[in-house]
Structure 1
Amino acid sequence: MDKKPLFEHKTKKEFNFFLAITPLLVMIASMLYAIVVLETDPHLPLIIGTITAALVAVFSGFKWEDIEEMMYKGIRLALPAVVILMIVGLIIGSWISGGVVASMIYYGLMVISPQYFLVTICIICAIVSLAIGSSWSTMATIGVAGMGIGISMEINAAMIAGAVISGSYFGDKMSPLSDTTNLAAGLTNTDLFEHIRHMMYTTIPGLVVALAAYLIIGLNVIGNSTASPEDIQAMMSGMSENFVISPWLLIVPALVIVFIILKVKAVPALIAGVVLGVICTIFIQGETLADAASILMNGYVLESGNEMVDTLFNRGGLMDMMYTIALTIAALTFAGILEYSGMLRSIMHQILKIAKGTFGIITATILSCFTTNVTCSEQYISIVVPSRMYLRAYIDNKLHSKNLSRSLEDGGTLTSVFVPWNTCGVFIYGTLGVVAWDYAPFAILNFTVPVIAIILAATGFGITRISAEERDAYIAKHYPEENKTAEA
C-alpha cells in the first residue's frame, strides 16, 4: 500500500493571498531580469522561484520532507514529457542522417510557393494534427520539415514556427483523439463530441483569422523577400550532394502518422520512426552502425561548405535535448510546490471572488488557465486545476458544463505555448528551435481564440445555458454528498 503524502493534511488550509503570490512574483521578476538584462537562460530564475516557494512553505508550517515530496510530485508530472523529448531528439537525429528530412525539404521546395508557404504549412499541420490528435507529434514530424523548407526560402523562422504551432494546435484541440480534448470533456462531465462542437464557436473563427493573416504576410512580406530561385536551387543542390534524396524516404514520416492514426501510442510510434531512420541511415545513406549510434547520441554533423545547409542539418540527438529537459525539470519542481502546498488554490480563490456573471466567470477561467500555465509550467495542470475550481460556479450560474470545457481549452491548451518554461514552450524550442517570445506574435490562432472566447462571453453569443431544473438535476447527480447532508 502506497504511503500517504506527508503534507496531505496541510494543503486544505487557505494561504494568505499575498504570501501565496510571492514566489510567482519573485520568479517573474528574476526571469525578466535574467532574460532582458542579463540575456541568459531561464533555468536559474525558476530555481530562484523554487527556493522562494520552499521558504514560504516552511514559513507556513510545512516540513522539509513535505516540500521534497511536493517537488518530486511535480517532477513526476514532467516524466512523460521528458521521455517524449528524448525520443524527439533521437528521431530528429536519425531522420536527418537518414536523408528523410532532406527529402521532405527538397520536394517541399519544388512544390510550395514562398508567398503561400505559411498558409500551406498551417493547413497541412491542422489536417495532420486533426487526424492523429497530437500537436507534439505533428510538430516533431511535419513541423521539423516545414522549418527546413521555410528557412530554405529565407522566411523568418519565427513566422514559420507560428504557422506550424497554429495549425498543430487547431487539430489537437478539435480532434476526438486528443488527450487534452478528452481531458477537458471528462473533467467537466461533458459529452466529448458536444464539447468539440461547442469549441467550433471560438476555434473556427480563430483559424480563419490566422490563415488570413498568414496570407497577408505571405503576399506583402515574404513576397518581397530577397530569396531568389538561384538561392533555392543552391540549397537543393547542397542537399542532393550530401544526401541520397528519394521520394521513397517520405514513407518514413507517413508510416509514423499512420501508426498514430491507428491509435498506436505516441512513444512506440515515435520509436518506430527512430528505428526506420536508423535503417535509412545505414542502408540508404551508407553510414556505419557506429556512426548511426553516435548521431543518435550527439546529433548530426555536416560540413558541406553551404552555410544554410549546415545550419539546417547540424542538430538532433539525445544531447541536443538536455538543455530542454533540464528546463522542464526546473519548471515542474517550482510548479510542484505551488500546486501541492495550496498556494495556487489560494490565488484561484481570490480570482473567483471577483468573478461575477457569465463574462466574469469565463474570463476568470481563461486567465486562471494562463496563470496556471505560467506558474505550474504544464498544460495538463492548466486544465485540471481550473476545472476543479470553477465547475460548481458554472453550474450554480446555470451555465452548461461545455462552456467550462471550452474555456479550459481556450485558456489552457492554447496559451501553454506562450510560456517559455512550460513543457509545451520547452518542447517547441527543442523541436523547432525558436523561443516563445520570438514566435508568439505569429502563433495567431493561439492568442486569437482566447480573445474570441472573451468576446462571446461578453455578448452571450455561443453560450449555452441550463434551466434551474437541469442545474438541480446536475447537482443531485454529481454532488450526491449534498443530498445526504440535507437529509441529515
Structure 2
Amino acid sequence: MFGAVIWNLLNYKMILALLSGLCILVGLAKKRSFSFSQILGMCARGIKTTRGLLILFVLVGVLTSLWRASGTIPVIVSYATHLIHPQSFILVTFLLNCAMSLLTGTSLGTAATMGVICATSAQSLGISPMWTGGAILSGAYFGNRLSPISSMALLTANITRTDIYRNVRNMLRTTWLPLLLSCTIYLVAGFVLDESKSAFSAESVRTLFSLKFTLSWWGFVPAILMIVLSVLRLRSWLVLLCSAMSAFVIAFVVENCMLLEILKMLVFGYRAGVPELNQMVNGGGILSMVNVFTIVVIAGCYGGIFKETRLLDSLKSKIQKIESCTNPFVSKLATSVLVACVTCNQTLTIVLTHQLTSPTDESPGCRESHALDLYDSAVTVIALVPWSVATTIVLVAAQAPSSSVFCACFLYLLPITRLLARNRFKVLYNAG
C-alpha cells in the first residue's frame, strides 16, 4: 500500500511538471508565430501517433488484474520460491525477477510480487539487501525492455514504426552477453557474501498464497497461452486479449470469483482482501494505467510540437556531430542519460531520445537499428538514475535501499558491452 501511495504521489508531481513543460512549449511555439489552433493541431497529431499504444495500455491493465485473480502470478511465485538457496540466492533472485518481468511486462508488478518475495527471503537468510535490491532492479527492467507485452517495449516499437517481435529477436543478440556476465557476477557475489542465518521455507510462501488462491495448475494457462501466441507472432492486442479471456474464465470457474467482482477489478484492480497478501498481489486494472496513459498523451503533445516547430533542430545538430565523431549508439546513449537525469521519467526519456536522434533514413533496416539502440539505452538507462520515478518505485516496492542501483549489473553491462563490441555487433547485425 505504501508503495502504491508513493507511486501515485510521484506520478502526480511528474504529470504536473510535464504539463508545466507543455505550457512552456506552447509559449515557445506561439513566439514562433504559430496560432493556438495550429499548436492544438500539432498536439492532436502527436497524440494520434500513440493511439494504438493507448489501446494496448488498457489491455495490459486488464490483463495484470486478471492474472492476479486467476492465480497466475501467485502460482508462478509459489513454485519459483522452491529454487531459492542461500549461496545462489542473488543469482536466483535476478533470474526469477527476469522471468516474472518477461511474463508480465511490468517492472513495478515484478517488484511488488517476486521482488517482495525475494526481499523478504533475503531478510530471513541474512543476505545483503543492497545486492538483493540490485538483482531485483536488474531483473525487473530485463523484461520491461524485452517482453513483447511491456508498455515501454510497445511504446518504442510504436514511435519507431517497427515490429515488436522483430525487435525482440534483434534484442536477443545484444542481451546474451550482459545476461551471462550478470549471472556470473551474481553467482560469485552469492558465495563471497554468504552469511546466511537460517533456511528459507518455500512452503511458508505457498501456505500464505493458499489463504486466497487454489494454486492449481490452471493458473499457468494464461502465461503459457501468452508465450505460445507470442511465439506464433500474433498481433500484440490479440495475444493480450486471449490471455486475459483465459484468465477471466479461470478466475470465475477455478478461483470462484463473482462475475460482478471480476468486472469491478478490470477497472479498479485486484484486491486480495487478506492483509498478509495485499502488498504482494493487489494491483492491476485499467485505472493502474491512468498515470502512464496520461504521460504518453502529454509526451505525444511534446512530440507533435517538437516535430512541427523544429524547436529541437539546434540540439539535434549537436547530437549529430557527436554521432559523426563516434557512432549512432554512443550519441543515443549520451542523449538518453542526459534526458533521463533531467526528466526522471522513462516514457519521456524514450520519446525525447527518439526525437533527438531519429535517423533521416526511413528504410526498415535503419528503423530497426534505431529501435535497438533505444532499447539498449533509453529504455533501461532511466533505472540507473537514483532519483527517477522508474528506480524509486521499484526499490520502494521491493523494500530495497537506494544503494541497490550500484548492484544492478545487467543495466550497466548492457550498454557497456554494446560500446565495447560495437564493431563486432555491426557485422553480426548486417549479416542477420
- Find the partner of 1:366 among 333, 345, 351: 333
Q: CA–CA distance in 2 between the matches of 1:428 and 1:88? A: 22
The 3-state SS of whatever aligns with 2:305 is helix
Q: Which amino acid aligns with 1:315?
A: G
Of 112-121 and 275-284, deviating more is 112-121
Contact 1:71 1:332 in 2 (8 A): yes
1:377 counterpart residue number = 348
* Equivalent of residue 119 in structure 1, options 86, 91, 94: 91
Equivalent of residue 269 in structure 2, options 296, 299, 302: 299
Q: Does 1:65 align with 2:28?
A: no
Partner Cα separation in structure 1 for residue 381 and residue 27 of structure 2: 28
Q: Contact 2:53–2:158 at 8 Å: present in 1 too?
A: no
Check if 1:277 corresponds to 2:247.
yes
Q: Report the more deviating stretch, 212-221 or 325-334.
A: 212-221
CA-CA distance at 1:315 after TM superposition: 1.5
Distance of aligned partners of 1:135 and 1:368 in 2 relative to their CA distance in 1, 3 Å threshold = farther
Q: Which fold has the larger relative contact order, with Cα–Cα distance below 8 Å and residues 6 or more apart in sequence?
A: 2
- Distance across 2 between alignment mates of 1:433 and 1:338: 35
In 2, distance between residues paired with 1:428 and 1:279? Answer: 35
Q: Secondary structure at the match of 2:88?
A: helix
Distance 1:135 1:86 in 2: 17
- Tell whether the 8 Å contact from 2:119 to 2:398 is kept in structure 1 after alignment: no
Aligned pair partner of 1:207 in 159, 173, 179: 179
Match of 1:164 in 2: 140
Please, which runs of 5 or more residues in structure 2 have no aligned partner? 1-6, 123-128, 384-388, 428-432
Matched-pair identity in %: 16
Shift of 1:139: 6.3
TM-score normalized with structure 2 length: 0.72
Aligned length: 393
- Structure number with greater Rg is 1
Inter-CA distance 226–313: structure 2 relative to 1 (3 Å threshold): farther
Report SS of the residue matched to 1:315: coil
CA distance in 2, matches of 1:299, 1:405: 35
Who is 1:477 aligned against?
none
CA 327–356 in structure 1, closer or farther in 2 if over 3 Å, else same: closer
1:381-419 CA-to-partner distances (Å, cap 9, x unmatched) read 745763425x69xxxxxxxx9899657623554322344
CA distance in 2, matches of 1:370, 1:441: 16
Counterpart residue type for residue 294 of structure 2: A
**1:395-444 superposed Cα distances (whole Å, 9 cap, x missing partner):** xxxxxx98996576235543223448xxxx879979x9679x96865553
Q: Measure the CA separation in 2 of the matches of 1:295 and 1:107.
A: 25
Q: Is 2:216 aligned against 1:251? A: no
Alpha-carbon distance in structure 1 between the residues aligned to 2:198 and 2:294: 37
Specify the code of the residue in structure 2 equivalent to 1:340: E
Structure-1 separation of matches of 2:196 and 2:45? 49
- Give me the CA root mean square deviation: 4.7
Q: CA deviation at 1:229?
A: 2.6
Within 1, Cα distance between the matches of 2:268 and 2:155? Answer: 31
Aligned to 2:357: 386
Aligned pairs (5 A) from 1:75-94: 75-94=47-66
Is 1:236 paired with 2:206?
Answer: yes
Aligned equivalents of 1:114, 1:325: Cα separation in 2: 40
Q: Secondary structure at the match of 2:50?
A: helix
Q: Report the alpha carbon displacement of residue 51 of structure 1 after superposing the two structures with TM.
A: 0.9
Equivalent-residue separation in structure 2 for 1:123 and 1:300 (angstroms): 26
TM-superposed CA distance for 1:196, in Å, is 4.7
Letter in 2 for 1:377: L
**1:224 positional shift:** 4.4
Q: 1:121 to 1:253 in 2, by over 3 A?
A: farther
CA distance in 2, matches of 1:169, 1:241: 33
SS of 1:366's equivalent in the other structure is: helix
SS at 1:229 equivalent: coil
Please tell me whether the aligned partners of residues 42 and 308 of structure 2 are also in contact (alpha carbons under 8 angstroms): yes
With normalisation by structure 1, the TM-score equals 0.65
2:292 maps to 1:324: yes
- Any conservation in 2 of the 1:166–1:210 contact (CA below 8 Å)? no
CA apart distance, 1:362: 5.2
Extract unaligned runs of 5+ from structure 1. Answer: 1-34, 393-400, 465-488
Q: Which amino acid aligns with 2:265?
A: I
Q: Does residue 102 of structure 1 match 2:70?
A: no
